[in-house]
Chains A and B, each alone.
Chain A
Amino acid sequence: MTVRREALGVRRSRRDMAPGNSPNALRLTNATAMPERIELHVKRQDSPTSNPYWEEYEIPYQPRQNVISVLMQIDKNPKTRQGKATSPVVYDRACLEEVCGSCAMRINGVSRMACTALIDSLEQPIKLEPLGKFPVLRDLAVDRQQMFDALKRVKAWVPIDGTYDLGPGPRMPEHEREIAYHYSQCITCGNCQDVCPQVNDRSNFIGAASIAQARLFNTHPTGAMNAAERLEALMADGGLDDCGNAQNCVRACPKSIPLTTAIAEMYRACTLHGLKKLLGT
């Protein structure tokens, strides 16, 4: 690891996002140009082993729709633009308010949540593809188990003694709590993995999300008791060393989690931990 990572500690405000990734930044400039129909192209795939293909749909325009409500329209009358009978598009969805992490997909090439992708802010035809860094299961549904497995690798939990009554937890200053709260809002959507050049077929890079979770638990007063174990996990193969400093993750995060700050902080902690081990203290 090199010192250049110190530069990664960029905090990002809620509104400070790259134009391409800023949800709904691309508002239609011409208010009279509201289309009568929405044209949607979806990359479909019938099973993990079959070949993908594109289908096109046309849906009557209504104001204030999102990608999910358009897909729901297709459910009710699954037909392509060419009039061919088809099946509803399969994708993961649950809360539709960007807190469950289900509906991540590539929308016009951008990895983001479908529920907050408002039609009025998207260029048409709208192109939907599955996230590219995860195995496709069917259509836009992908297998993100690696995200949950990574949480096991970094032991992302507070090892409590038991659920019996042991009184209150440790006190915590509110300002520290506020910082930690940013990290605890990670919805495991996978967008950060999807935009990371280091996440690919040839690497087992653990990814930004779980590094940020290690940061979260290492600063919790009880979680900190096992900080060394998490640092060891991050120093192992596929850990922090694989980060290439592209900083795409922080721009893609729908919850504005300061992922690169976490990476920088964890890098420092790992360096210190390594030094201490070297000196036998």
Chain B
Amino acid sequence: MNGERIVIVGGGLAGLMTAVRAAEMGMGVDLFSIVPVKRSHSVCAQGGINGAVNTKGEGDSPDIHFDDTIYGGDFLADQAPVKAMCYAAPGIINLLDRMGVMFNRTPEGLLDFRRFGGTKHHRTAYAGATTGQQLLYALDEQVRRHEVAGLVRKYEYWEFLGLVRDADGNCRGIVGLDWYSMKIEAFPAAAVMLATGGPGIVFGRSTNSVINTGTAASVAYQEGAWYANGEFIQVHPTAIPGSDKLRLMSESARGEGGRMWVPRTQGDKRDPRSIPENERWYFLEEKYPSLGNLVPRDIATREIFQVCLTGYGVDGKRQVYLDLTHIPKKELDVKLGGILEIYEKFVGDDPREVPMKVFPGMHYSMGGLWVDFAKDEKSGMLDETSMRNQATNVPGLYAGGEVDYSIHGANRLGANSLVSCLYGGKIGGPAMVRYSREKASKLPAAGAAFAAAKKRWEDEFRTIAGMSGPENPHVLAEEMGDWMTDNVTVVRENGKLAATEEKLRELSDRWNRIGLTDKSAYGNRELSFINQLRNMLVIARVMTRGALLRDESRGAHYKVRDLSKGVTEENALPRDDANFLKTTIAEHTPDGPKISYRAVDTSLIKPRPRKY
């Protein structure tokens, strides 16, 4: 089998792009996903995809995109991969266009571009307000083509449980669980990619899909892969609170002219439409005259937080207005229809008529599995033929998309996630093929490792199936989510972080006293969830420990001296480049994460203060 097939876990944008790229090189691909790949979380991305195509006569360029991304990420991102991605972005958008993505057009029939946060340029290509869905479908269609041609085999409703590593530590395959038959199998692979997305469910309710537990990344971490910058969690400024999830209200709503405000009078009960202009507080426009409502997400989130903390929230609650009612309805329908429908369907109000009520919600993890890159010294970008790109520290294991830590540094700019997923796949696929053909094909057979890994997971699941304590896994998950949301999102304080670590230890202890309610041997999702919960608790500790030890504020990581004094410049710890312009690396030990720091590649843009 060596050198013949690779395994990709996860069928979102990153996984599918990897599959297409590898299949195109003649490589067989076994594609694993817990849902039919067309239902992956990439469908939820709304606003668009960044690429400096410069069709608006604004003088945009990949170099400006590069600078915006590095600056937006507060200089924590390694620069060579970011530059390479920004230069690749226009080509990636063209490729999607050729695949048939129904991007919005200009009167001349060219791709239209909109504005997003953290930039002054129209750089975001979009397909209505369902860009992620449209991109995912285009890739899904291409993968189906390769499936029909016989190169790609899909294993849908299969969950990744763990790696198969040989005696020398090389990754040689994976162990998977069939979500219906509950059969556990080991699969050989010349190389394995995890493209399993983010860990939103660690925070209970978030803008993420319920499948985004981060469990695959956690397992890889527990089996030796480094987890980097775990403390950097993006909280999206505008989500619609709900009891089952926080639904995203895309940044494109502001990109198309949406304005954020609250009444100037606390507790003003008037209908928002009857409040005159001079009695409205457009708090972002007032404080940030240059970017206004389009300041980067971490900043917008903190401002909303502070507005509500000081009693200016709409109806005295934790909510502010996001107002589109000044924009013509026809224009809203064409450019934002998809997301306005979501608001209408779930809240019952028409956002074309009434300002929306929103509040920040956990959205994205900048951190993730550490991956390597091969810098090309001459261009400052990457040697895109290298097998080192997207490789984790475990030989043969790759990672791409939100599950990897690269590109976004301390804060991701809007519409950079889709392009980073696709770029990860674009370079990750060829890297894996090269590794397969040049390295994996020379490795000795590792038959015993497969049997051992399979048995290990069969034993684990037999143990879980026998659990009969008083605790309910979903109740434990809810407690974890509440603690993580309260203490490890918008504002962090060391005392609270230490208490959260303690709580996570308590929950891990209580995990052992879970009682299984579903005794079925078929389609038992509770078994799977209990295993996922254990992994979520592990990765939650990585995030919390990273946040505790990083004694500074940078991007989305905002630490205050005294929580009761709120979000103010005096109360916040400043950015500390001397000690913390470094990538956090977490390594798993039985006693919890061991944290060390690695230098960041800042060779192309000199770090400067981040002031919008």
Contact = CB atoms under 8 A, between A and B. Distances in A.
Contact of B209 (A95, A167, A180): A95
B474 A72 contact: yes
Contacts of A118: 346, 348
B150 to A, nearest CB: 12
Nearest to B23: A163
Interface in B209-260: 209-211, 242-245, 247-248
A55 to B, nearest CB: 13
B107 interface: yes
Interface stretch (A151-159, A200-208, A267-275): A151-159
Contacts of A144: 36
Interface stretch (B129-137, B286-294, B592-600): B129-137
Interface stretch (B160-168, B307-315, B501-509, B517-525): B517-525
Contacts of B374: none
Nearest to A46: B520
Contacts of B341: 14
B24 interface: yes
* Number of chain B interface residues as a range: 35 or more
Contacts, number: 197
Interface in B27-59: 35-36, 38-41, 43-44
Contact of A172 (B109, B141, B348): B109
B94 A167 contact: yes
Interface residues of A, number: 71
A174 interface: yes
B43 A99 contact: yes
B110 A171 contact: yes
A34 interface: no
B526 interface: yes
Interface stretch (B96-104, B390-398, B545-553): B96-104
B578 interface: no
A47 B243 contact: no
A101 interface: yes
Contact of B180 (A137, A158, A174): A137
B517 A100 contact: no
A151 B144 contact: yes
B381 to A, nearest CB: 15
A157 B145 contact: yes
A47 B43 CA distance: 30
B345 A23 contact: yes
A188 interface: yes
B20 interface: yes
B526 A88 contact: yes
Contacts of B147: 152
A78 B478 CA distance: 16
A93 B346 CA distance: 16
A171 B100 CA distance: 11
Contacts of B332: none
Interface in A161-204: 162-163, 165-169, 171-174, 177-178, 180-181, 184-185, 187-188
Contacts of A220: 100
A158 B100 contact: yes
Interface string B80-120: 00000000000100110111111111111111100000000
Contact of B35 (A66, A69, A92, A157): A92
A116 B133 contact: no
Contacts of B426: 163
B243 A138 contact: no
Contact of A116 (B106, B346, B472): B346
17 contacts: A46-B522, A47-B522, A64-B242, A66-B244, A68-B244, A69-B243, A78-B517, A78-B518, A95-B44, A96-B242, A98-B342, A99-B44, A116-B346, A138-B180, A152-B148, A157-B144, A184-B137
